[in-house]
Each structure stands twice: as C-alpha cells, then as structure tokens.
Amino acid sequence: MDSSNKEHNAGYIQIPQIFYCYATQKPFEECLVCKKKLLESDTPYVIEKAIKKYPTYTAKDVVSEYAICLACNAEMQNSLSEYSKELINTYFNQRVDLMSRRHKMLKEHGPDIDAWLTNCLIYQTPVTDISEYQIYAYCEGSYLVFSAMPFMISGRAIEEIAEQLSPETKEVLDDFIDEHFGLPPELKELLKNRKLIHL
C-alpha cells in the first residue's frame, strides 16, 4: 500500500511520539541489528521499549528501546530454543486472542494510540498502576500499523514469561543485549536483570 492510501486507512497512523526514539525525539531511523534504513520505503519493523516509572515523582525512564526489522527479528526468534518459542506462544495464546483484540480495539477506539496502551495485554492492569512495563508497535516505514500490536505488557507478565525461559534462550537474549546495546557493564547487568523479553 503506498503512503497516500495509508493516510486514509484507519489501520495506519504516522508513528506517534510515544514510539519515537527517546534520545533523538524522532522516529527510529535504522534497524538495531542490520542498520537498514526504516523510514524509507515500506520496510516492516517492530519497536520495543522498556519503561520504568519512579513512584515519587512523575519522571519516566526509558530503560531500553530499539527498532528491529522483521528479517532480523525472525532471525533472532529462530535462535531461541524450540522450548522457549513454544512457551512464549502458549503463554500468549492461552491468555489473549490478538486478532479479536485488534478488531475490538479498532471498533471501539480507532487509531487512539493511548487506548491501545492503557491496560496490560495480559492482566488488564492500568498503566497508571504499573511501575515497569514494555510497549511494542509494528510499523511500516513512517507508519504504525494497528495489528496484533501496539500493546503494553506489564512487568508482572514479563517476569512470568522470563522465569520459564530455557537457560539457552536466556543466554541468547543476554548475548543480544551485549552485542547491540552500547552500554557499560553495570547497565547491561541491570537490563538483563530487568528481564527484557523479546517477542
């Protein structure tokens, strides 16, 4: 679909600010892994952000954030163990029907991005009651596409998944953090302990 059609399709919006790169305050420009340019053409990719809120004041801290093209995402998923892939799929399938959710959300809220991110996908907990969470969006070029994503998932659900992952998968995820996040070791450890999961 070309850009002019997307403007008139309820399932697409220009990437909203909440999914901008925190550092630049602009849309992500390239894939974290292969550095492919994302905003040109209709390149499909996923944006993932982990956020921590501090209860005593209103500041929010973006713990990690990246955009990854679907090709690199698929490669990453393939490197997870069969056991872990199955576990992640089962966890979601037993708790949420992403396609019915999409239908319901579009019908009730249209492209209101806040509505899509207001409650934990798994537990329905409101974001105002959650101190740590992750948000995900599926995008094509400079557009966010309302599909199985966007969604918000609470730290509680993330921990449940992370706790069950195989040691091999944890290693793959840790290597991913080591390789792609230019962070000092103490921050990497923090990120690993925060149990970043990769969907």
**12 to 41, contacts with Zn ion by CB under 5 A?**
31, 33-34, 36
**Closest separation in Å from C-beta 67 to Zn ion:** 9
User: Minimum Å distance from CB 74 to Zn ion?
Assistant: 10
- Core vs surface per residue 79-102: b (16+ CB within 10 A) or e: bbbeebbebbeeebeeebeeeeeb
What ranges make up the beta strands (E) of the chain?
A: 12-14, 44-53, 60-69, 132-140, 143-145, 151-154
User: Does residue number 46 form part of the binding site for Zn ion (CB under 5 A)?
Assistant: no
Distance CA 171, CA 88 (A): 16
Q: How far is the CB of 105 from Zn ion (least distance, A)?
A: 28
DSSP 16: P
Cβ 159 to Zn ion shortest distance, Å: 28
Judged by beta carbon, residue 72 or residue 88, the one nearer Zn ion is: 72
Q: How far apart are CA 155 and CA 199, in angstroms?
A: 14
Count other C-beta atoms under 10 Å from residue 20's C-beta: 16
77 to 116: interface string for Zn ion, x by CB under 5 A:
----------------------------------------
Stretch that binds Zn ion, among 11-19, 62-70, 89-97, 151-159 (CB under 5 A): 62-70
Token pair listed for 104: 């319901």
- Toward Zn ion, which CB reaches closer, 66 or 133? 66
Rule CB under 5 A: is residue 72 a binding residue for Zn ion?
A: yes
Total of residues contacting Zn ion (CB under 5 A): 6
Taking the complex as a whole, how short is the minimal distance between the CB of residue 31 and Zn ion, in angstroms? 3
Torsion angle of the four alpha carbons 92, 46, 41, 31, in this order, in degrees rounded to the nearest 10: -140
CB nearer to Zn ion: give 44 or 111.
44
Interface with Zn ion, residue 139, by CB under 5 A = no
Measured CA to CA, the distance from residue 185 to residue 72 in angstroms comes to 24
- Binding region for Zn ion (CB under 5 A): 31, 33-34, 36, 69, 72
